[in-house]
Chain A
């Protein structure tokens, strides 16, 4: 999972049928230490009801599909997605820079 901030919402009329009625949010990654996923943004489905400007925890990869379906209370797991908002963050505590181990925490994107 990664931490990010909701920066927008995607509107789409033509989409895969199972995405009908699902909220799609644009997420700007915050403190993210998976270089293979490094990018400026990602789009995630949102079963928890996050709003623009909120900090969120996003599940990335195939488990997001099952987790999102479960959060919606559905047995349906055929969503063609690989990112889902799993939590809205109240607060993040980070150890001081020197105590994070040999590999520094990688930060990506807007750090404000």
Chain B
């Protein structure tokens, strides 16, 4: 999993059927890369999030039909120390 910050939302009027109703967020990871992740937790711009990657992670969280492999699995309150 990777820590990142939500920098915006992603929309696509025409999209794969499995993404119907999915909320997609653009997340900038701590390393500077960007991923588009599905969010079911209600994260918004500026939130720090934990993004998990992989088809099994996707199957277990948002279902097998979503054509995407990055999923927001936690909204981060903080990192210690």
A residues neighboring B (CB under 8 Å)? 8-16, 18-19, 24, 26, 39-44, 52, 61-62, 65, 78-83
In the bound assembly, the distance between CA atoms of A61 and B52 in angstroms comes to: 10
Q: A19-B73, A42-B2, A83-B1 are in contact. Are A24 and B50 (CB under 8 A)?
A: yes
Residue in B closest to A26 when the chains form the complex, CB atoms: B79
B12 CB to nearest chain A CB (Å) = 23
A102 CB to nearest chain B CB (Å) = 28
Q: How does the 8 Å CB contact mask read for B3-24 relative to A, with 1 for contact and 0 for none?
A: 1000000000000000000000
B60: contacting residue among A13, A41, A44, A78, CB under 8 A: A78
Contact in complex: B54, A43 (CB < 8 Å)? no
CB-contacts of B62-81 with A (<8 A): 71, 73-81
B34 at the interface (CB under 8 A from A): no
List B contacts of A10 (CB < 8 A).
Answer: 3, 50, 74, 76, 78-79
B74 CB to nearest chain A CB (Å) = 4
Give the dominant DSSP class at B's interface.
strand
Residue in A closest to B42 when the chains form the complex, CB atoms: A14
In the bound assembly, the distance between CA atoms of A83 and B60 in angstroms comes to: 15
List A contacts of B77 (CB < 8 A).
Answer: 11-13
List B contacts of A43 (CB < 8 A).
Answer: 1-3, 50
Contact in complex: A11, B79 (CB < 8 Å)? yes
Contact in complex: A39, B2 (CB < 8 Å)? yes
Q: A14-B42, A65-B56 are in contact. Are A52 and B29 (CB under 8 A)?
A: no
A8: contacting residue among B41, B42, B57, B79, CB under 8 A: B79
B76: contacting residue among A12, A16, A65, CB under 8 A: A12
Q: A40-B31, A43-B1 are in contact. Are A80 and B73 (CB under 8 A)?
A: yes
Contact in complex: B3, A12 (CB < 8 Å)? no
Contact in complex: B41, A15 (CB < 8 Å)? yes
